[in-house]
Amino acid sequence: MLKHIAFFIAPFVLILACKTLKKSDTEKKSNQSILFSSIKREYCFGNCPVYELKIFKNGDAIYHGIANTKLQGWYCSKLDKTVLDRLSEKAREINYLNLDSTYFHPQGIDAPYTTTSILINKTFKKVRRQLQYPPKLLSFERVFDEIIESTNWVKKSESGKKDN
């Protein structure tokens, strides 16, 4: 008789376990940071600033200053929603989603690459430029520069922990 009871109870226990597992997986996914926007400026033969800034949908921002920048090393901050909105507005204003993905010129040997990206209405777009790009793209890049300048950054050590 005990076997018969266990036979009927076991499916309910498994269903409850699966629901708990699915909920846990969903919670993990919703807590993961989704990349919202980024900029990466690469090396040139001169003194070009070299850095990368990643901004996530939850407002977390990670900055890595590599060369020729005021901030050298890893930094983090939490950005306000208005900052993310400003990036979205500028992207819409310049019609970012309809830009080409690459602007390159074979004779641009010393021209550094700059790569930007943004997530708008579930569409992720990345543009990598060197030369012969639409000037309006620079206005989008300037928003990132303004964010870097106006944000209170917290220095991180190489291990990823906050420096004291």
Q: Are residues 28 and 38 in the same domain?
A: no
Length of the chain: 164
More confident residue, 30 or 52: 52
Q: Are residues 51 and 122 in the same domain?
A: yes
- Among 3-7, 15-19, 81-85, top mean pLDDT goes to 81-85
Query: Do residues 73 and 101 touch, judged by C-beta distance below 8 A?
Result: no
pLDDT of residue 81: 96
Distance CA(141)–CA(134), nearest Å, equals 12
Q: Which CATH number fits the domain that encloses residue 50?
A: 3.30.1560.10
Q: Are residues 19 and 41 in the same domain?
A: no
Average pLDDT over residues 4-28: 40
Q: Which structural domain, as residue segments, surrounds residue 104?
A: 33-156
User: Among 28-32, 41-45, 100-104, 108-112, where is mean pLDDT lowest?
Assistant: 28-32
